[in-house]
Amino acid sequence: MSGDRAREIDRGFLQSLAHLDVGRDVGRDVGGDVGREVEGDAAELLALFDAQARSRHLDFAARALQAEGAGFYTIASAGHEGNAAVAMALRPTDPALLHYRSGAFYVARAARVPGVDGVMDVLLGLVASRDEPISGGRHKVFGRRELAIGPQTSTIASHLPRAVGLAFAIGHGKKLGVASEAPEDAVVVCSFGDASLNHATAQGALNAASHASHRHVRLPLLFVCEDNGLGISVPSPEGWVKASLEARPGIRYFAADGCDAAEALAVAKEAAAYVRARRRPAVLHLSVVRLLGHAGSDVELAYRKAEDIRAGDARDPLRLTARRLAERGVSASVILDRYESARAEVGERAERARRSPRLESAEEIMAPLAPRTPDAVATEARRGVDFERRRRFWGDRLPEGEGPMTLAEAIRHTLGELLLKVPGMLIFGEDVGRKGGVYGVTRGLQAKASPARVFDTLLDETTILGLALGCAQHGLLPFPEIQYLAYLHNAEDQLRGEAATLSFFSRGQLRNPMVVRIASFAYQKGFGGHFHNDDAVAVLRDIPGLVVAAPSRPDDAAAMLHTLAAAGVVDGTVSVFLEPIALYHARDLYEPGDGRGCAPHRAVPEHVPIGEPRVQGEGRDLLLVSFANGARMCLRVARRLAAEGVHARVLDLRWLAPLPEEALLAHAEACGRVLIADETRRSGGVSEGVMAALLDGGFQGPVRRVTSLDSFVPLGPAADRVLLSEDAILAAARALIS
């Protein structure tokens, strides 16, 4: 055991056992107001105490391991051990998304599942062992698939939107007939701290739950706010948490003293029963204390008074649980024996944990990041739907009989085919249902597939992505739509911190496949300004494992959507599909009326392997590299160059992550010169990655790039002054050739 505070808390508990006095009023003794008469079974309270004691000694062990250089995480659960009562009020099959002070919850749940050693699980996490059951040493998380506990990273409140989505999926999944590990009457529990309550992500999730309840949507979700009154060093205003949570319409409010095990258990059972029976959300407000500071390096005396720290020690949950046990006739010696037994158990397992293996190579670490099985994906992507089902869905006029389609039409009809092919597929977002999207891309799909599968959501991108996360974790395949690329940025952590990490931090045991559709890029002839013409994709390209697609043609868009859906089904892939707004309704390519911007729908799906570009032309004088709007510009530039005797080929990247590096190098070597035409910004744009790939690959020929400027896109004709243009590409090509 390391640290004076740990020894002080340990000693304080032992001294409290020596002075147990059942006759004294516990409520007045700890300076609180219990506020209700509580009863509880002694055996149940003893089991709860065992979980609390193990969690406490795990906190002590964390500090000892850290002091020896053998442990790497010391955010304690001390003072929050009342959450063991929540675990005991729920079933081990109820999905749990946990706060990082949930040691007692984890140990209590593990004790109810045969063959699971919760104490060893936590210790293996502390020492970053590859034998740890959920993340395999990649992060210190509470999690195990057999306990229905997924790994949660430390991003504040980022898991709350996922919890809303998971509860929605449990309530909604039966309509779709999709199998799930969670029972039909499951309750999702999601815990967080009082300071996290103020985060915009938490507020959005609570609002979404309230909104769903108001609309009578089934949402079996129990929020648990563990209120210790502090956000690291900043105190929560007295009464603020209660006022904020109690006022939520449609969310039933429960409150309990989380330091008093008997009261916490009684109220947690009441809250869980309400949610399970009513299928409506509730919040359990647990008043707790924070012992041992925020983390191992935290010095509480730098911002707290000594008397406040002592007052918190007096409300130590283990002391109060011991008092409740004494009231039920359990002797202090029995309590002491169980406490010391927990100490010995943790100590013995800590010795074993110290000797456990750790991750040793980059390959081993990254193995679960983004698994790829391209042959299986190709097979799934090419799988079609039988004629009769398609005829019933589309009516007498099948898509292949409608003639050449624009990009928007191709996307719409492909989404319809995927709804037929994948039973658990959902399409949702702002305005995608009845209206069919701002640009009409999803028009008519709700009527054909049903409002259960194509529906409108709140105007909140964080909620949209959180809904997708939860639905995907439940076994569905969501296609959430973000209305414009600029709207993604306030919700991007749902992709970075949640979606992309689940497979990584669960060793591939859990996954949340999805295809996020986003109306993207610029060139809307000046309409709408920056928020409707955003070209910033760097924030997506640097997310490990995320696939980023950007088609420039209707036939590519259709094939790439089939590929991404298949990758979601087969590999659990998380992907983003960037749809160029300016090309949605473009029919022509070179001159008005040529119709070369359209393509026919194919009844048998095509497949484009992830990371494979499209190459057009066989010229050997110059390679033009681009994507989306830029690919169209490059084709026109190549035609103009041909009239001047310069023969270029165009490489349409199609995939911005992963970049098609091998093909890029091969075609660069064949042509000898490379011009990258990048409609994103010069700094942080795609062209930087392309140039780096050429350099890393050893390409020796001249490489130039022409890009949009480092500016937001202004309104009206001024947009043409900062965006990549066809004339700029042509001028750069001529200069490079000369």
DSSP state of 499: I
> Which residue has tokens 């022509």?
588
| Residue 440 burial (C-beta neighbours within 10 Å; 0-12, 13-18, 19+) | middle
- Say if residues 61 and 350 touch (Cβ distance below 8 Å): yes
- The full 3-state SS of 581-643, as one line of letters, equals HHHCCCCCCCCCCCCCCCECCCCCCCCCCCCCCEEECCCCCEEEEECHHHHHHHHHHHHHHHH
Return the SS3 of 227: strand
- Say if residues 450 and 428 touch (Cβ distance below 8 Å): no
Residues 6+ apart with CB under 8 A from 353: 65, 120, 123, 124, 126, 127, 129
- Say if residues 699 and 664 touch (Cβ distance below 8 Å): no
Backbone dihedral angles phi then psi of residue 253, each to the nearest 5 degrees: -100, 130
Query: What is the crossing angle of helices 159-176 and 461-473, to 10°?
Result: 60
Bridge partners (DSSP) listed for residue 518: 482, 578
DSSP string, 248-276: -TTSEEEEEETT-HHHHHHHHHHHHHHHH
Q: Using CA atoms of 677, 682, 688, 690 in order, give the dihedral in degrees to the nearest 10.
A: -10
Q: Which helix (DSSP H) or strand (DSSP E) does residue 559 occupy?
A: helix 554-571
DSSP string, 663-710: HHHHHHHHHS-EEEEEEEESSSSHHHHHHHHHHHTT--S-EEEEEE-S
DSSP string, 196-210: GGGSHHHHHHHHHHH
Q: Using CA atoms of 656, 152, 510, 542 in order, give the dihedral in degrees to the nearest 10.
A: 10
Give me the numbers of helices (H) and strands (E) for the chain, helices first please. Answer: 28, 19
Q: Decide the pairing of beta strands 454-456 and 425-429.
A: parallel
- Say if residues 702 and 736 touch (Cβ distance below 8 Å): yes
Rounded distance between C-alpha atoms, residue 443 and residue 441, angstroms: 6
Residue 270 gets the label, from left (phi > 0), alpha (psi -120 to 50) or beta, of alpha
Backbone dihedral angles phi then psi of residue 279, each to the nearest 5 degrees: 60, 40
CA atoms within 13 A on the CB side of 419: 26
Which of 172, 199, 532, 667 does the annotation list as catalytic?
Answer: 532
Among this protein's residues, is 532 annotated catalytic?
yes
Catalytic residue IDs: 532
